[in-house]
């Protein structure tokens, strides 16, 4: 499963660079592929907190979060 192998590498990347929203976004996507929706939602929330609110990355993470959980808290 591609999600599982990607998730392991991305988890290492987020551990090394915890303030990098891009790594958290792709870890969220990998967690979705694994079927771990709660873990994915946590990663998307981190992206929303770390990335500039007007950025495309924040918008994408907000969309993915909403698809999994509903709208993120303000």
Q: Which two tokens stand for residue 21?
A: 């929203």
Residue 50 and residue 19 in contact, taking contact as beta carbons nearer than 8 Å: yes
What's the predicted TM-score (pTM) here?
0.85
CA 48, 50, 55, 56 dihedral sign is negative
What digits encode the pLDDT tens for the residues 3-58? 567 888 899 999 999 999 999 999 999 999 999 999 999 999 999 999 999 999 99
What CATH topology corresponds to 2-69? 1.25.40
pLDDT score recorded for residue 36: 94
What digits encode the pLDDT tens for the residues 34-46? 999 999 999 999 9
CA–CA separation, 49 and 9 (whole Å): 22
């Amino acid at each position: 499963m591609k999600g599982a192998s990607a998730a392991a590498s991305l988890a290492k990347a987020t551990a090394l660079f915890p303030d990098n929203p891009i790594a958290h976004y792709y870890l969220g996507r990998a967690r979705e592929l694994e079927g771990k929706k709660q873990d994915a939602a946590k990663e998307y929330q981190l992206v929303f907190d770390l990335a500039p609110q007007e950025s495309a990355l924040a918008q994408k993470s907000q969309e993915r979060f909403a698809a999994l959980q509903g709208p993120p808290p303000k």
